[in-house]
Amino acid sequence: MTIVPAIGRLTTRQIGERAQAMIDALSVISADEDALTRLYLTPEHRHAAEMVSGWMEAAGLSARMDAAGTVRGAMPPAATGRNSNKVLLIGSHIDTVIDAGRFDGNLGVIVGILAVEQLRARGIALPFGLEVLAFGDEEGVRFPVTLTSSAVAAGVFDTKALDVADEKGVTLREALIAFGGDPERLRQEAYQRPAVLGYLEVHIEQGPVLERAGEPLGVVTAIASQSRHRIRIRGEAGHAGTVPMEMRHDALMAAAEIMLMVEAIARKGKKHALVATVGHVEVMPGASNVIPADVRFSLDVRAATDEARKAAVEEITLFARKIDKRRHVVVGVETMMEKGVATCAPRLTKAIAAGVGAVQGKPARSLMSGAGHDGQSMVQLGDFGMIFVRCRAGISHNPNEWVSIDDMGVAVEALVATIEELGRQERAGR
């Protein structure tokens, strides 16, 4: 589908309609016929990257694919009226989960391109350069690593990850080469820290707060601190009819006690936006007439601060040890992943709040992101800021994900206003 470049200044509604047409065009690029599935370094990813690259060019950006498969569209210096070497990065991702929604990630890339279109159509000069980025690996579905493409851009990619493989045994290195990327050039693709003014991302909220407040947009203060753990409990199998209750070492009952404590501990941490989830449980041998001998379950813990999250994990672990002794089972707690809190830069949140406040006509609400985003890599490069867009019922990672045309238009206007505000700040030498 060809999206004709916008001519002149559009109304917010017209901008939203353009965003909808672009969302629709990307949504049919999928590995599955009846669902949206677009994983990193697949033919679908390439197809979507080419479409996005075409849109960038039409909006007046010069687009290229970097060595990690990220599409980078740079505004030519002459078009911005820049007087510094600094560049403002705007981005999000075009990969999806399996059977995904259409807005997660994709909307942020589209909003970035449409903001550039409007900046140019309105003749707004900027004292810095502008680049729009379409990352390819935010969801981390194909490979057991995540944020590959933004980690490369931020210069924090760990080359050991090149050896990880997907389900078919294809390594990340092999997939990159087949895609046309270059595993040997990843390091050279990092932005130079002093040249980066900051990184901005527009993303759907993926939660219900903005909808409940009746506000289209919000300002993100931070991306939550997060860790994932695997808890394993070994008890003893036995006959469900013959082993007396007091002689059992039931691994599942021990797990149940720990799980309820996980909930109780998380409920106590509301002040630090603490949330904890057990989302996967395996019971072995898994028969209705056998006392469970072996239970494994996942634990995901997130909070507004690293301290609050670590304290919760510690408390859960201590409780698990107590259960271990009391029930004579063996409990092991393993940490699989740990990501520190990514705090948005006050300078950018201030500019976003001004931009959002101006377009939505009331002060912008601040909220924390419980979900992970490319900003977790980009914060290591420099300042980062995020705008959240209301989505229906907070539903995400689901085909029912939905954002209204008007909200998409308002999101573009808010990004334009934020960029203008940053321009004013930069000129004032702040």
Binding site residues, Zn ion, CB under 5 A = 104-105
1 burial via Cβ count (<10 Å: 0-12, 13-18, 19+): exposed
In the complex, residue closest to Zn ion by CB: 105
Nearer to Zn ion (CB atom), residue 204 or residue 414: 204
Nearer to Zn ion (CB atom), residue 231 or residue 391: 391
Rounded Cα distance, 317 and 232, in Å: 12
In the complex, minimum distance from the CB of residue 325 to Zn ion, in angstroms, rounded to a whole number: 42
In the complex, minimum distance from the CB of residue 18 to Zn ion, in angstroms, rounded to a whole number: 21
Report the relative pairing of strands 196-204 and 87-93 from DSSP bridges. parallel
CA-wise closest residue to 94 among 177, 33, 36: 36
In the complex, minimum distance from the CB of residue 30 to Zn ion, in angstroms, rounded to a whole number: 16
**Positive or negative, the Cα torsion across 36, 40, 42, 44?**
positive
Nearer to Zn ion (CB atom), residue 97 or residue 301: 97
Rounded Cα distance, 410 and 358, in Å: 10
Instruction: Tell whether residue 93 is among the known ligand binding residues.
Output: yes
Nearer to Zn ion (CB atom), residue 208 or residue 357: 208
In the complex, minimum distance from the CB of residue 93 to Zn ion, in angstroms, rounded to a whole number: 6
Rounded Cα distance, 363 and 353, in Å: 7
Instruction: Tell whether residue 397 is among the known ligand binding residues.
Output: yes
Rounded Cα distance, 257 and 336, in Å: 22
Token code pair at residue 255: 């797990």
Nearer to Zn ion (CB atom), residue 104 or residue 250: 104
Token code pair at residue 227: 């860790």
Q: Where are the beta strands (DSSP E) in 60-115?
A: 62-65, 71-74, 87-93
In the complex, minimum distance from the CB of residue 14 to Zn ion, in angstroms, rounded to a whole number: 26
Task: Name residue 424's amino acid.
Answer: R
Nearer to Zn ion (CB atom), residue 147 or residue 258: 147
Instruction: Tell whether residue 104 is among the known ligand binding residues.
Output: yes
Q: Where are the beta strands (DSSP E) in 275-345?
A: 275-277, 281-284, 290-291, 294-303, 330-339, 342-343
Instruction: Tell whether residue 228 is among the known ligand binding residues.
Output: yes
In the complex, minimum distance from the CB of residue 91 to Zn ion, in angstroms, rounded to a whole number: 11
The single residue listed with the structure tokens 């209705």 is: 288
Q: Which residues are annotated as a binding site for Zn(2+)?
A: 93, 104, 139, 203, 397
Binding site feature residues: 93, 104, 139, 203, 228, 289, 302, 397
Known binding residues for allantoate are: 228, 289, 302
